[in-house]
Amino acid sequence: MLLRHPIFPYIIPFGTFLLFTGLTSLTPVSVVWLYPIKTVIVGLLLFMFRRTYTEIKLKVSLLAIVAGLVVFVLWVLPEGRYPTLGQPKEFNPFDKFASHSWSFVWIAFRLIGAVVVVPLMEELFWRSFLLRYLINPDFKQVPIGTFSWLSFCGTVVLFGLEHHQWLPGIVAGIIYTFLLYRKKELFDCILAHAITNLALGIFVLVTQKWVYW
């Protein structure tokens, strides 16, 4: 069966996420409804394929936590000085909902998406699948954390270009990938990515700088 091909558990959640992200830009109000829907659907896809992701071994690393915080600082410290791809749109949920209760519901989905769904989905795609696929299309035969210049440069640059702030995106990709090479554990990248996004979410909520979301 075609859907049993080993690449699909990696590209289907990622592709679905990109599809919904693209739909979000079609209308200013679509983000209100599409982000929670995107979070739920991509989360369900990851759960459906969960038995495929045998490379994930739950093990907390202090180095991963530090790496995640370093990426966060590099992301927000030189505020406004990074070149961007397009003009990032600012979305303040408190301006979009009549009730603050609905604003908090949306924020909860945003945090769950940013801290749980996105790190898992992106690290599986970029640093488990694509990083190894660029070494050998039979990527499951390539050990996690195997280095090649093509796979390193290709995934880091593409990961950066996925973000409006492409330069800190590239720097984040470099740090997460170096962490993978050092530890040989995909969960370290997932944890570091989650820490970055959690810190960024707290920063947004405290400072009200919604452009980072």
pLDDT value at position 85?
76
Q: Could you tell me which residues come within 8 angstroms of residue 52 by beta carbon, excluding any fewer than 6 positions away?
A: 6, 9
Residue 193: the pLDDT is 98
68: tokens are: 């995640």
pLDDT at res. 4: 75
Task: Please report how the helices 30-48 and 100-112 are oriented relative to each other, as an axis angle in degrees rounded to 10.
Answer: 40
**Closest by alpha carbon to 140, among 69, 201, 54?**
54
Can you tell me the distance from the alpha carbon of 38 to that of 30, in angstroms, rounded to the nearest whole number? 11
The pLDDT of residue 213 is 84
Q: Residue ranges of the domains in the chain?
A: 2-212
Give pLDDT, residue 28: 55
Tens-level pLDDT at each residue, the chain (213 residues): 446 789 999 999 999 999 998 887 676 555 678 889 999 999 999 999 999 999 999 999 999 999 999 999 999 987 777 777 777 777 888 887 878 899 999 999 999 999 999 999 999 999 999 999 999 999 999 999 999 999 999 999 999 999 988 999 999 999 999 999 999 999 999 999 999 999 999 999 999 999 888
Query: 37, 210, 3, 209: which is closest to 117 by C-alpha?
Result: 37
Contact yes or no for 170/42 (Cβ under 8 A): no
Q: What is the pLDDT of residue 3?
A: 61
